[in-house]
Structure formats: C-alpha cells, structure tokens
Structure 1
C-alpha cells in the first residue's frame, strides 16, 4: 500500500495546521493551536500531520504518554481531522500510514477519542470502519445529552413551572464578557464543595481563551436584583452550542436562574444551530450515569448520543492492506 508522509507537528507548521482545521470537514475551534497550547506545559504534544507529497491531507491532535499516543488529553475530543474533499481510499491510506509510523517509532498503542458526530460538517465515519478493520477495542463510552433542532421536543412541565417562577422573581439573563463573577462566586465554590475539584479551565485560562476565540467562548449569567444567581459557559462551534460549565447558587435554586438561562439560549440565542449540547452525565470513566443529572438534562428535551474511546495496536496497520478490492 502506498504510504503517505507522517511528521510530528512543530511550530513552523502552525499556520498550515490552523488553515487545515478551518477548512476541514470534522473539526472545531478546539483544534486550533491557540486552544491546544494554552496548557502546553501539562502535555507532551505529539500531534501528527500527514502529507501526500507536499499537500497536507490530515491531522491528529495528540500527545504522548510513555509508549502510547493519545488523542490530545487537553481536548474533549479528537480523532483524524480530514479535508472536505477527502476520498475514502485516501483515508484508508492515511490511517495505514499513521499506524505504521507509530509502530516504526516504537509507539505500540494509539488511544483515540472520537469527535462526536454532531460536530461533523460532512459525514465523516471513515474512522469507525477503519477502527473495526484494525481490531480496535472500545474502552469507554460516554452518554451526552443533546437537543436536535430539526425535531425539537418540548421541555417538561417542571421546566415550564420553573421558568414561570423565574419570571415572577424578576430574574433576567444577559451575556457578559467577564467570567470572574461566575467562576469565583458560583462555579469554583460549587465544584469544591460537591466534588473537591476545580474547573478544567482556571479563571485566567478561560479569560485568555475568550480573548483568542471571542465568538466561540461565551458567558451567560442570570441575575436577581443585580446579583448573580446562576451561569452557563458556552463553547460555540458551527453546528453546536455546547454548555461547558453549568452552575447555580444552591440557596437561590428555587428562583429558576438556570431555567431562565437555558430558555434564553435554546429558544433565542442558538435557535439557528443544528444542536444544543448539555454534555456528558457519566462518572467513573463512563461506567456509571448520574441519574439526577441526566434526568435534568432530559427535562429540557435532550436525547442521548454516545462519545466513544478506543485503543488500537499500531502493529495492526497490515490489516488494512485488503480493504480495497
């Protein structure tokens, strides 16, 4: 099988990388280098670029941990980023070349977390077939709750009651540029109290990312009497509005701040999107689902999609040699 040239990303390729991401059929702003590198000190970046002669044909956002290449651990998803004009047979050769490159470089395992289909600008399931052909092992499957605007369901009666309550309590929602009130007064204290953890992004990091991606990272807060009572941080891509952070002041929960925010986001701000995503409700690496959390998301009319993680033995590149007949 013809091999494509695979190289490790370097800073000299930054413009080529970002340009390819902007014109691919299955990528979001998270794959731009400015987003990937805000926490570059935490990961050994080992992203790959694939060429046919001098033409860039694919990317793999990834980092290396010992003898394993992993879909970049600083991102929610990864996979094989392809051009809009990528042909199936070409993708077979790309994947073959990537696995062979890894095997030749003493990296026996490739761990990949797929890009959920809701983010595909065009059908992009080549990788699922190739994972099957190379005997990949499914190691994790998360459940993410999503509203599909092409067949949008009504919210539950409980959500409607809470929304009415928010109006009676004169709760109002507005988009803000600063994240400090939401992070410092609500999100960080809640995560610390409930889970003894911190947000994935620090306040400084989310503010820096907002400067880099002002149209993609947005903050919406609910207020009563000019005091913040709830907030939602949105990561917006071409087809999807994703709720990255959701939190409310527990003692103010009865005011319906989150209901007011989600009514505003779902039915006004992002009404022209294809999907609204509430994110996953899993714990313990996908093994359990938080009942209260998933029921709450379902009450807005959301339905489940899956987010899959696989491992591949890179020596299995040879299994791709009989794909095309």
Structure 2
C-alpha cells in the first residue's frame, strides 16, 4: 500500500513538477491552474500518494455533496482529473493505488468516490491500467462521454484531404471571399460573440467569466491562444485553444456570429488551426465532447466529423462506500 496525504500548500511546487513530468499530466492537473478559482468555490481535497517516501501519484480532488452523500470527486474545477502517474506504472501498483484511495476515503468518512479519467490520447504512453483496476475494485461507469479527436497529419495537403468535400470547398470559398485568420488578443470581442451565440442556441452563459478567461491567459500565456476569423476587419468567429501538454491541444471555446455563417469562417479557422498544430508539433487536437450525460448531439458530432475527427471515450467512474 501507499502512504496517502491530503495536499498542503507547502507542496504545491513538488506537485506541479511531478505533473509536468508525468505520463498523463496536463495543465488541468496543475495547482497553478486551480489558482484561478475563487477560494470559496470548491472544498479542495487533493491527495498525494507516496511510495518509499517518494511522490508516486497525485489526484486533484474536492469534496462534493450529491444526493445528500459526501463524495470525494475529481476536481470539478478541471475538465479531467483522476490519478496522475509516471509512464512506468505497473498493474500491481495500479491495484495498490485504487486500494489506497478506497481506504483513505473510508477513513475520512466519504460515502463514495467519483473520478473522470483523461482520454487515452492524453497519455504519452497509452495505458488502461487505472480503468481496469477501478473496475476490478468495484467502481462502475457512471458516465461515458465521447470527445471528438483529430490526429494531426504530417503535411498540409493531408490535413485538407481529411475534410469532407463540402468542408474543403468551404475553406476555399472563405479564402476567395477574403476571410482572414490570425492569432489575436481581441478576447473580449470573441467573448461577446460566444455569449450571444450560447444565449441564442441554448439560453445559457459561458462556463467562465471574461475575467476568468483573462486570468487563465495571464497564468498560461504560452499555452492559450485565440484564433480569430475576420471579414473586412470585423471578427466573425473564433476558437480559444489550450495547449494542455506538449503534443495535445484542446478547443476550449468555439463560436461564430450567426449572421456570418454563410462565410464559412469555422471551416477556414480549423484548417488554419490544424496547420498551426502541425508546425508546433502538436499530434492530437481535441474538439471536446459532443455528448451531455452520455446523450449525443448528432449535429455537433457530425460537424466535427466533417474535419476528420473521430470519437474517444472520456469516462467517469463511481463507487459507493
């Protein structure tokens, strides 16, 4: 078994160093990332696992009341969570990690555990040891989302060949019309487009405030960029990208002006983003999920497939103690 400790502020530095060198660590696992949240938003209960007095794994987590049950959950302030581990994780240590987590949760009077695993392509070295170990210790799937994933081709020509013919034609149309793509700092302008689009389509606001987005950009200036589509100087669409690790980028927010849809700005935007990814040696582009609580939005899924994307699981497991 492992020695299990609740994270203290004194250990934020070693935690982040461990994440940066881990097999499946991303910016979403860094304490630096969690610092953008107000202190009273979550009850943080992140955990460290030690083997022979050396940090072996970290688990970003929080306490959450669900249906009057006190659960230890993957940190709600991040897209993904679960155990961050090295490339050399063995099946034996995977079992011991899960056993240690369950024992810790019981000792600390939790009624259950819920955790969301990163998609498999977030790993440097693919492994399903954690998934397998969770299932063997009584965890069950509580949710299986699908995230749209594009594996970046080796040259520009191959990137466009992955597009459906209609989308490839739309790229050329946008170029001919004069739609321009560039990385921009006009974040507030994009946010207003995003806010209006979400209001029209879903009657909701963005998950993040404009202030929070600016704070994230300040925290990770080299890992966040905004690609904008412009027509006659006006922003008509944009994609806010997070480089979550060296070779994986995520579309954090995607939006366009409804009245500019006929200009096909998103088609040329993503073509430009994929070429940027190729240049930056990014191997995988994550479009994000097109399911909500396991139910697919077929239109959104089809939209992403038109660029050559396919679906990969993003799984959430739970156990009652």
Residue of structure 2 aligned with 1:108, choices 90, 105, 111: 111
Q: Matched residue of 1:310: which SS?
A: strand
Q: Matched residue of 2:239: which SS?
A: strand
Matched residue, 2:149: 146
Q: 1:147 to 1:48 in 2, by over 3 A?
A: same
Q: Work out the CA distance in 2 between the residues paired with 1:177 and 1:246.
A: 15
Q: 1:268 to 1:16 in 2, by over 3 A?
A: closer
Q: Work out the CA distance in 2 between the residues paired with 1:269 and 1:238.
A: 11
Matched residue, 2:264: 256
For residues 187-244 of structure 1, give each alpha carbon's deviation from its aligned partner in whole angstroms, at most 9, with x where no partner exists. 0111122212121221111111111111211110000111100000111122212111
Contact kept? 1:141, 1:309, Cα under 8 Å:
yes
Matched residue, 1:297: 304
How is 1:262-273 mapped onto 2 (pairs within 5 angstroms)?
A: 262-270=270-278, 272-273=281-282
For residues 119-144 of structure 1, give each alpha carbon's deviation from its aligned partner in whole angstroms, at most 9, with x where no partner exists. 10122321111112112111111111
Contact kept? 1:139, 1:311, Cα under 8 Å:
yes
Contact kept? 2:153, 2:278, Cα under 8 Å:
no
**Comparing 253-262 and 264-273, the one that deviates more:** 264-273
TM-score (norm 1): 0.91
C-alpha RMSD of the superposition: 1.6
C-alpha displacement of 1:80: 0.8
C-alpha displacement of 1:250: 0.5
Question: Where has structure 1 moved over 4 Å in runs of 4 or more?
Answer: 150-153
Is 1:217 aligned to 2:224, yes or no? Answer: yes
Residue of structure 2 aligned with 1:278, choices 265, 284, 287: 287
Matched residue, 2:73: 70
Residue of structure 1 aligned with 2:171, choices 144, 147, 163: 163
Give the paired residue count.
309
**Comparing 13-22 and 264-273, the one that deviates more:** 264-273
Residue of structure 1 aligned with 2:132, choices 123, 129, 134: 129
Q: Work out the CA distance in 2 between the residues paired with 1:118 and 1:261.
A: 23
Matched residue, 1:243: 251
Matched residue, 1:27: 25
Contact kept? 2:99, 2:137, Cα under 8 Å:
no
C-alpha displacement of 1:102: 0.7
Is 1:188 aligned to 2:195, yes or no? Answer: yes
Q: Work out the CA distance in 2 between the residues paired with 1:178 and 1:85.
A: 43
Matched residue, 1:13: 11
Contact kept? 1:178, 1:207, Cα under 8 Å:
no
Q: Matched residue of 1:95: which SS?
A: helix
Contact kept? 2:147, 2:312, Cα under 8 Å:
yes
Matched residue, 1:57: 56
TM-score (norm 2): 0.92
Q: Work out the CA distance in 2 between the residues paired with 1:148 and 1:80.
A: 24
Is 1:42 aligned to 2:41, yes or no? Answer: yes
Q: Matched residue of 2:266: which SS?
A: helix
Q: Work out the CA distance in 1 between the residues paired with 2:223 and 2:261.
A: 28
The gaps in structure 2 that reach 5 residues or longer are none
Matched residue, 1:321: none
For residues 80-99 of structure 1, give each alpha carbon's deviation from its aligned partner in whole angstroms, at most 9, with x where no partner exists. 11123333322322221121
Residue of structure 2 aligned with 1:230, choices 234, 237, 240: 237
Q: Work out the CA distance in 1 between the residues paired with 2:207 and 2:15.
A: 25
**Comparing 9-18 and 77-86, the one that deviates more:** 77-86
